[in-house]
């Protein structure tokens, strides 16, 4: 019977396992009611922030964009290059760019198939007009933060304490010390400390103490004690001197055994200069991309007109062949009619692509100008590209490229920063030797202060009766002083030597970077000069090609009308004329773009476009204080403090107008003036002012 029971149990277990399978099962709970409404099924959810920022009107108010199926606009907006740049700067709180779309200035045609989304992909890498001020006001690395380390510090504390303490004394000791100590204690401490540029710390402190208890050995139950301390601490070796403290900052030794944290006022000033160089580069890039977008839009219009001319001529040829095809005349064969029709639709597709390029290029110029993507107007450039040869002196351009580049100036500031940090790091190799001192005036009395001058007198039988602490202190009988020296030196200087070596390597790295940046700048300048020359030559060649193609079309058309050439030759000539026309304007626009790029590479693009950077107005109080300080210095006696000032680390403000410097300016400080340009006319037959593009955009002729 037990054997049969075991067999039944095994069979039942097998059937249960087969029925349940291998799927996981939830446990069973006796008191489960099935209500899981209190359970939170997600840790985080996608939510909107509670922000009050209103959307930009130019973004929220954009109308339906211009497309091939919606080519309608209210009017044409004629915009000059100067107006486009001015609008871009006025709307340039964020210094927009096209995301490297114009990396090859004056070379191959830039890509215009994708919108600029550099702000959406990397918003923190795009400079803004706020960046210099943000660096200036940084609470840890800003100039004001570094100067604040030398500000006087006022500290004060007030405490009151109630005493109720049992004490362990026998009957004999109880006559002197109470078995239960009762009393009150108050302590008010106030101090003023000031750090100087030499590394010294001066202090002025006051401590006032009130003491009242039931001790039987006290002459009076309560007393007031006050004292004034004058203290100083002056480093003599490590941490001494204005040079070190203006580089490292006076609080460096508060965290001496942590990571070296040099953040003095000189380094903060250099950080501000670095941010200004980056800001200048951002403004330059904004202007450069705006000008590139402007000329690309000009080419898009010219290319559209070229494609329209090709389409119209092919339409005329198709109509003639189609008429012969209907009449079943010679020259109207089915293959020729189909060929003429294919030519027309080819040029029609070219017109549609060219019109789409106009819309795309116009949208990019709108983006660089900081205006709405579409507002019912269509921008059209009103300026014409130059057709004159512009020559630049190579040596002059090279000097300017190496002297005026914002990137090179930024790197030089970084090198100066590393040099100052190395100077501060070498100071750490000295032992720490500080001279310290303190002078104290003390006073004690039954009261803190009263109107009767009654100081403490030890010769009286009751010296504290009727006295006050301030009268005792002003009597000058109780004075203390202390003088001494503190010495600290690590044996081996391992951390300090590693710090010096670290900053030496950083300095070597930044100098190597500067050399390679200068090499890169010279190579970029060479490419820019080559592009100017190449694109001018291509403009000449393509103009002659354009003239020849026009004459070829006229000759082939006459021959075709006379029946001496076939339709293939006429259609091919028309296509060649369209390509020659487009190629000429492509080379002409690239020539003007390459001129802009040459100014970009030699650092004169801002001056070339009449843009100069200047600091905005300060508050009126700042001008008042500056005038007062100037009058104070004018009325003072001159003393040479050169021995206590740090060495010169700046050559002063750069000149943004090199034309006013003259030809004798030294290249190592300020490069000579901008090279004089000389204009040479193009070969005979090359127009100096191309005709303006017609306002018509999309003529769609019928095929009949």
Q: Contact, 341 vs 318, CB < 8 A? A: yes
Nearest to 358 by CA among 294, 308, 292, 297: 297
Q: Where is pLDDT greater, at 179 or 363?
A: 363
327-341 residues labelled b (16+ CB within 10 A) or e (exposed): eeeebbeeebbebbb
pLDDT of the residue at 672: 37
The pLDDT-based confidence of 693 (bands split at 50, 70, 90) is: very low
Q: Strand 180-195 vs strand 153-166: parallel, antiparallel, or unpaired? A: antiparallel
The arithmetic mean of pLDDT across residues 214-227, rounded, is 87
Q: Determine which of 197-211, 237-251, 436-450 has the lowest per-residue pLDDT on average.
A: 237-251
Its pTM stands at 0.78
Helix 334-369 to helix 567-601 angle (10° resolution) is 20
Q: How far are the Cα atoms of 57, 356, 400, 573, 649 from residue 379, in angstroms, in the given order? A: 19, 14, 35, 33, 48
What whole-number distance in Å separates Cα of residue 71 and Cα of residue 2?
95
Q: State which of 333-347, 449-463, 620-634 shows the largest mean pLDDT.
A: 333-347
The pLDDT-based confidence of 645 (bands split at 50, 70, 90) is: low
pLDDT of the residue at 453: 86
What does pLDDT average to over the chain?
82
pLDDT of the residue at 4: 61
Q: Contact, 454 vs 433, CB < 8 A? A: no
The arithmetic mean of pLDDT across residues 21-31, rounded, is 69
What whole-number distance in Å separates Cα of residue 87 and Cα of residue 143?
33
Q: Determine which of 102-111, 182-191, 430-439, 495-504 has the lowest per-residue pLDDT on average.
A: 102-111
pLDDT of the residue at 61: 80
What whole-number distance in Å separates Cα of residue 497 and Cα of residue 137?
33
DSSP SS3 for 391 = coil
Give 113's DSSP letter: S
What whole-number distance in Å separates Cα of residue 314 and Cα of residue 293?
31
Q: Determine which of 182-191, 272-281, 376-385, 616-625 has the lowest per-residue pLDDT on average.
A: 616-625
Q: Where is pLDDT greater, at 703 or 294?
A: 294
Q: Give pLDDT tens digits for 167-194.
A: 887 766 666 777 788 889 999 999 999 9
- Burial of 38 per CB tally in 10 Å (0-12, 13-18, 19+): exposed
DSSP SS3 for 395 = helix
pLDDT of the residue at 525: 94
Contacts of 261 (CB under 8 A, 6+ apart): 249, 252, 255
Nearest to 431 by CA among 479, 487, 482, 374: 487
Nearest to 435 by CA among 489, 493, 482: 482
Cβ neighbour number for residue 309 with a 10 Å cutoff: 16
Of the CA atoms within 13 Å of residue 36, those in its CB half-sphere come to: 5
Q: Determine which of 202-206, 236-240, 301-305, 698-702 has the lowest per-residue pLDDT on average.
A: 698-702
- Burial of 156 per CB tally in 10 Å (0-12, 13-18, 19+): exposed
Residue 3 dihedral angles phi and psi, to the nearest 5°: -65, -40
Q: How far are the Cα atoms of 90, 117, 249, 698 from residue 72, in angstroms, in the given order? A: 29, 27, 65, 10
What whole-number distance in Å separates Cα of residue 106 and Cα of residue 292?
9
Contacts of 215 (CB under 8 A, 6+ apart): 177, 178, 181, 183
Alpha helices in 370-405 (DSSP H): 394-404
The pLDDT-based confidence of 498 (bands split at 50, 70, 90) is: very high
pLDDT tops 90 at residue 566 = no
Cβ neighbour number for residue 591 with a 10 Å cutoff: 26
Q: Determine which of 23-32, 655-664, 677-686 has the lowest per-residue pLDDT on average.
A: 677-686
- Burial of 566 per CB tally in 10 Å (0-12, 13-18, 19+): middle
Terminus-to-terminus CA distance in the chain, angstroms?
105
The arithmetic mean of pLDDT across residues 282-306, rounded, is 92
Q: Contact, 409 vs 448, CB < 8 A? A: no
pLDDT tops 90 at residue 685 = no
Q: Among positive and negative, which fits the CA dihedral 356, 358, 359, 363?
A: positive
- The length of the chain, given as a count of residues: 704
pLDDT tops 80 at residue 448 = yes
The pLDDT-based confidence of 7 (bands split at 50, 70, 90) is: low
Q: How far are the Cα atoms of 164, 165, 180, 182, 555 from residue 169, in angstroms, in the given order? A: 15, 12, 10, 15, 133
Q: Contact, 243 vs 647, CB < 8 A? A: yes
Residue 293 dihedral angles phi and psi, to the nearest 5°: -65, -35
| DSSP assignment of 617-628 | PPPHHHHHHHHH
pLDDT of the residue at 62: 83
As beta bridge partners, residue 189 has 157, 207
Residue 325 CA from chain centroid, whole number: 68
Contacts of 413 (CB under 8 A, 6+ apart): 270, 273, 274, 277
Of the CA atoms within 13 Å of residue 678, those in its CB half-sphere come to: 4
Give 283's DSSP letter: H
pLDDT of the residue at 86: 93
pLDDT tops 50 at residue 242 = yes
Q: Give pLDDT tens digits for 93-132.
A: 888 888 754 444 444 444 444 566 677 777 888 889 899 9
What whole-number distance in Å separates Cα of residue 427 and Cα of residue 38?
65
Alpha helices in 156-207 (DSSP H): 171-174
pLDDT tops 90 at residue 587 = yes
pLDDT of the residue at 387: 92
State what percent of residues in the chain have pLDDT above 90: 41
558's enclosing H/E stretch is: helix 494-562
What whole-number distance in Å separates Cα of residue 428 and Cα of residue 426?
5
pLDDT of the residue at 354: 92
Q: Contact, 544 vs 580, CB < 8 A? A: no
Q: Give pLDDT tens digits for 452-484.
A: 888 888 777 778 888 889 998 998 889 999 999
Nearest to 227 by CA among 183, 185, 191, 184: 191
- Burial of 230 per CB tally in 10 Å (0-12, 13-18, 19+): middle
Q: Among positive and negative, which fits the CA dihedral 128, 129, 131, 137?
A: negative
What whole-number distance in Å separates Cα of residue 524 and Cα of residue 520?
6
Q: Strand 377-381 vs strand 75-79: parallel, antiparallel, or unpaired? A: parallel
What whole-number distance in Å separates Cα of residue 541 and Cα of residue 546?
9
pLDDT tops 60 at residue 526 = yes
pLDDT tops 80 at residue 690 = no
As beta bridge partners, residue 192 has 154, 204
What whole-number distance in Å separates Cα of residue 394 and Cα of residue 396?
5
Contacts of 131 (CB under 8 A, 6+ apart): 275, 278, 279, 282
What whole-number distance in Å separates Cα of residue 400 and Cα of residue 598?
11
| DSSP assignment of 29-95 | -TT-----TT----S---------PPPPHHHHT--PPP-SS----SEEEEE-HHHHHHHHHHT-SB-
């Amino acid at each position: 019977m037990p054997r049969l029971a075991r067999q039944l149990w095994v069979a039942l277990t097998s059937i249960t396992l087969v029925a349940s399978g291998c799927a996981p099962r939830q446990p069973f709970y006796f008191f489960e009611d099935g209500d899981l409404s209190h359970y939170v099924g997600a840790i985080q959810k996608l939510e909107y922030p509670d922000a009050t920022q209103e959307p930009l009107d130019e973004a929220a108010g954009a109308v339906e964009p211009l497309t091939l199926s919606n080519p309608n606009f209210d009017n044409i907006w004629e915009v000059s290059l100067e107006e486009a740049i001015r609008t871009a700067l006025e709307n340039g709180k964020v210094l927009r760019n096209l995301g490297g779309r114009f990396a090859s200035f004056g070379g191959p045609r830039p890509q215009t198939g994708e919108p600029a989304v550099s702000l959406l992909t990397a918003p923190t890498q795009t400079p803004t007009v706020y960046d210099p001020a943000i660096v200036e006001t940084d609470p840890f690395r800003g100039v004001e933060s570094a100067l604040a380390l030398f500000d006087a510090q006022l500290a004060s504390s007030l405490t009151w304490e109630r005493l109720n303490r049992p004490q362990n004394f026998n009957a004999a000791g109880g006559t002197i010390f109470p078995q239960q100590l009762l009393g009150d204690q108050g302590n008010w401490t106030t101090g003023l400390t000031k750090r100087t540029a030499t590394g010294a710390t001066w202090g002025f402190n006051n401590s006032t103490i009130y003491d009242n208890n039931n001790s039987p050995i006290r002459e009076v139950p309560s007393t007031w004690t006050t004292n004034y301390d004058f203290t100083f601490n002056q480093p003599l070796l490590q941490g001494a001197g204005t040079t070190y403290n203006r580089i490292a900052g006076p609080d460096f030794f508060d965290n001496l055994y942590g990571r070296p944290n040099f953040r003095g006022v000189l380094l903060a000033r250099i950080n501000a200069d670095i941010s200004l160089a980056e800001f200048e580069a951002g403004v330059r890039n904004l202007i450069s991309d705006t000008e590139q977008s402007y000329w690309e839009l000009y080419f898009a219009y010219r290319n559209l007109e070229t494609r329209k001319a090709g389409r119209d001529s092919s339409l005329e040829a198709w109509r003639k062949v189609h008429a012969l095809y209907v009449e079943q005349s010679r020259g109207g064969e089915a293959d020729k009619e189909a060929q003429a029709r294919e030519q027309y639709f080819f040029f029609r597709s070219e017109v549609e692509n060219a019109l789409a390029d106009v819309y795309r290029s116009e949208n990019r110029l709108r983006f660089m100008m900081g205006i709405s993507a579409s507002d019912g107007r269509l921008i059209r450039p009103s300026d014409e590209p130059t057709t004159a040869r512009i020559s630049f002196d190579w040596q002059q351009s090279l000097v300017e490229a190496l002297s005026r580049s914002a990137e090179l100036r930024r790197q030089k500031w970084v090198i100066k920063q590393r040099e100052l940090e190395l100077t501060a790091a070498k100071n750490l190799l000295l032992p720490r030797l500080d001279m310290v001192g303190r002078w104290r005036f003390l006073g004690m009395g039954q009261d803190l202060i009263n109107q009767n001058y009654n100081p403490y007198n030890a010769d009286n039988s009751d010296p504290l009766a009727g006295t006050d602490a301030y009268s005792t202190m002003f009597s000058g009988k109780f004075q203390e002083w202390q003088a001494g020296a503190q010495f600290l030196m690590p044996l081996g200087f391992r951390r300090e030597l590693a710090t010096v070596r670290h900053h030496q390597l950083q300095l070597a790295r930044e100098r190597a970077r500067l050399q390679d940046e200068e090499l890169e700048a010279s190579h970029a300048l060479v490419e820019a000069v080559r592009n100017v020359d190449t694109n001018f030559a291509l403009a000449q060649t393509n103009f002659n090609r354009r003239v020849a193609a026009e004459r070829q079309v006229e000759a082939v058309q006459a021959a075709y009308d006379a029946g001496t050439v076939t339709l293939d030759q006429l259609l091919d000539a028309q296509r060649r004329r369209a390509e020659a026309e487009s190629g000429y304007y492509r080379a002409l626009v690239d020539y003007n773009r390459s001129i802009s790029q040459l100014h970009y590479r030699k650092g004169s693009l801002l001056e070339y476009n009449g843009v100069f950077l200047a600091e905005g107005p300060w508050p009126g109080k700042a001008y008042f204080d500056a005038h007062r300080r100037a009058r104070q210095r004018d009325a003072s006696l001159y003393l040479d403090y050169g021995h206590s000032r740090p060495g010169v680390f700046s050559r002063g403000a750069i000149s943004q107008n090199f034309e006013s410097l003259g030809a004798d300016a030294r290249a190592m400080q300020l490069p000579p003036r901008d090279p004089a340009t000389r204009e040479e006319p193009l070969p005979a037959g090359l127009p100096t002012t191309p005709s303006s593009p017609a306002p018509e955009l999309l003529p769609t002729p019928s095929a009949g």
